[in-house]
Structure 1
């Protein structure tokens, strides 16, 4: 085994140790990556890289979509859109086995369609759906597990900030990746809902059925879902037809949610300020992680691990679908 690959493996071990010790992932990645660059390229090259590389990496037009998607998500949260979609799903599904947990999963998916703040989705629905589920006697493990699992749907369902980051690292079309996330997102929702339904049908005590609503109440509740549909089809339709780029879609989406919230009289100056501050705080963490990961990827490339791993995978005589699985 080449000495460079050994150094790369040592770097991975050091990274894991730093994270286990409690160091923030961004700093652990950055320090390990920078140390590796210094080992391979020398002090001068390493320190020069630390000085100018972060600016070069962040000076990217496509990265502008991240804060716009995040801002859109926080506007949607403070406008009460998450609560609206949950209440609508509850009226339609509450009387079925596992109705409230299923409503939570569908509500998460619907909110994800107008929010790029994937990490915030689970936190939002902890506030929106956990208290009603606890009050209805839903098993706490099932309730919390549903929120945690369905909270990850925002990573698949566009607009997804995580897909944007993946596209930038993999140098793939962000627009195509966003559209490609629709079908996996729908399949995930169906799997979660089907699993909850089956489990609660076998053991009804996990989630007592809720009172049934009239068809008039159910149909009336649909009027609160129009913001989600408008934003989802506006963003995806614009990207798919080529009317605007993914970055422009972020601006259109943020402006769209902002105007919708104003028209519904749900957005005050204090909420706008809070949403802006939280977006800024979130982006500081995201960009720090982005820079740290870039340093570590440079280290891995210099060590030869990336090339060796690619060569090994390409040499395998198996289907690409097996590798993806």
Structure 2
């Protein structure tokens, strides 16, 4: 049996184990070890090669961005800054048609700029924004759909854990990917806002007939409360974009800034501080396992020659870069129905990089396309994890899981439209990097 055949069998084994319910990183590590063992003929050699790959994967200084940005995100969540972001957006946008829904999108975009965790956004705004929207006349399913849709902005607007994961897998600059995510993230937020306004105006049976929002506090006081958020965003994103901080330094400054902000506002309790540290450790350990599994999997693929053979088959097919990317996007979206975001990237990115690199495609742009396509899976049944988080947070009997998926469907379509825009106009992702 050739190395190529062993590689294909390993891929089949990975998918089989995943479908049987095995945790994806474990499936990757098991099949990678067996694959390298079969190719090299010695279990001890396979163990040493994969151990070296695992060590190299997490020994890099650049891996430090993961715990630092995760810590910043949890400090922000525990300090109640999401509520302030919602109040600022509501004060600015709440009086327009569909304004409360648009304010939820805006608040999520602002919250995404200081935390890269979509699940945190879904949990925070399902408790803050959804009850407010339902009370103002939005249907429960559309209110939940708005929260579900806008929560995925956290995976595109920097800092983003998915962009960090892609940067490690593809050996690309975290800073470049953060900068590349800004414009597509703003475009997606604008599309979400347009969806809210359009649905309220033209599909009131689905969206409800909300009344105009009202600002409970003076606008100046609300905006003053949001000044601290703006300073934190400017410190992290502005310092990174301006070249003042490296990505690791930016994460450290952001975490320190979020901690200081929570202490000054007296909104970060001792219990909240402890929860942030524990959650950061758990998320970081989980991501470490993902990256170790990805490194082993990439090493197995390199030994088997599957990506090289696959690339030659693609080149001989005459599909061209656009055709290959469209097929890749469809595969990612399809896998999003059964796998979580990071697992899709772990499996597909190492397989596709040797295929797209010879085509001369910008790997940062390819990363943005990948993340947007992966994000769509957060809203599609049956695995859309953001929908499950919202369902568990709201706990309304009149809001079954299917209704939330229906409410999120217009936003999934808007995400696909954003994906096509970035595919058709690469400068949306690369323009800021040129300056």
- TM-score scaled by structure 1? 0.90
Query: In structure 2, the residue corresponding to 1:266 is in which secondary structure?
Result: coil
Report what 1:102 is aligned to: 102
Q: Distance between the aligned counterparts of 1:55 and 1:216, measured in 2?
A: 54
When structure 1 is superposed on structure 2, of 128-137 and 62-71 the one drifting more is 128-137
Report what 1:33 is aligned to: 32
CA shift digits 1:215-273 (9 cap, x unpaired): 97334322222233212221222223322211011000100111111111111222111
Higher RCO (CA-CA < 8 Å; seq separation 6+): 1
Report what 1:23 is aligned to: 22
Q: Offset of 1:322 from its aligned partner?
A: 5.7
Q: Is the 8 A contact 1:97 1:204 kept in 2?
A: no
Does residue 263 of structure 2 align to residue 262 of structure 1? yes
Q: Distance between the aligned counterparts of 1:134 and 1:23, measured in 2?
A: 39
Report what 2:122 is aligned to: 122
Does residue 231 of structure 2 align to residue 230 of structure 1? yes
The count of residues paired between Structure 1 and Structure 2 equals 324
Q: Distance between the aligned counterparts of 1:314 and 1:170, measured in 2?
A: 21
When structure 1 is superposed on structure 2, of 136-145 and 167-176 the one drifting more is 136-145
Q: Offset of 1:323 from its aligned partner?
A: 4.6
Does residue 10 of structure 2 align to residue 11 of structure 1? yes
Q: Is the 8 A contact 1:94 1:209 kept in 2?
A: no
Q: Offset of 1:320 from its aligned partner?
A: 4.5
Report what 2:77 is aligned to: 77
Q: Distance between the aligned counterparts of 2:255 and 2:22, measured in 1?
A: 33
- Pair 1:219–1:316, CA change in 2 (3 A): farther
CA shift digits 1:34-59 (9 cap, x unpaired): 22122212311122234443233211
Q: Distance between the aligned counterparts of 2:315 and 2:190, measured in 1?
A: 34
Query: In structure 1, the residue corresponding to 2:279 is in which secondary structure?
Result: helix
Q: Is the 8 A contact 1:98 1:207 kept in 2?
A: no
Which 5+ residue runs of structure 1 have no aligned equivalent? none
- Pair 1:319–1:14, CA change in 2 (3 A): closer
Q: Is the 8 A contact 1:69 1:117 kept in 2?
A: no
Report what 1:91 is aligned to: 91
Report what 1:56 is aligned to: 56
Q: Is the 8 A contact 2:155 2:163 kept in 1?
A: yes
CA shift digits 1:41-81 (9 cap, x unpaired): 23111222344432332111001111100010011011111
- Pair 1:312–1:140, CA change in 2 (3 A): farther
Q: Is the 8 A contact 2:96 2:212 kept in 1?
A: no
CA shift digits 1:7-57 (9 cap, x unpaired): 322222221221222211221222122221222123111222344432332
CA shift digits 1:120-147 (9 cap, x unpaired): 2222222322232333342232222222
- Pair 1:111–1:26, CA change in 2 (3 A): same
Query: In structure 2, the residue corresponding to 1:228 is in which secondary structure?
Result: helix
Report what 1:275 is aligned to: 276
Q: Distance between the aligned counterparts of 1:320 and 1:8, measured in 2?
A: 25
Report what 2:176 is aligned to: 176
Q: Distance between the aligned counterparts of 1:262 and 1:72, measured in 2?
A: 13
Structure 2 matches for 1:205-216, cutoff 5 A? Answer: 205=205, 206-213=207-214
Q: Distance between the aligned counterparts of 2:69 and 2:175, measured in 1?
A: 14
Q: Offset of 1:310 from its aligned partner?
A: 3.2
Query: In structure 1, the residue corresponding to 2:224 is in which secondary structure?
Result: helix
- Pair 1:279–1:201, CA change in 2 (3 A): same
- Pair 1:207–1:81, CA change in 2 (3 A): farther
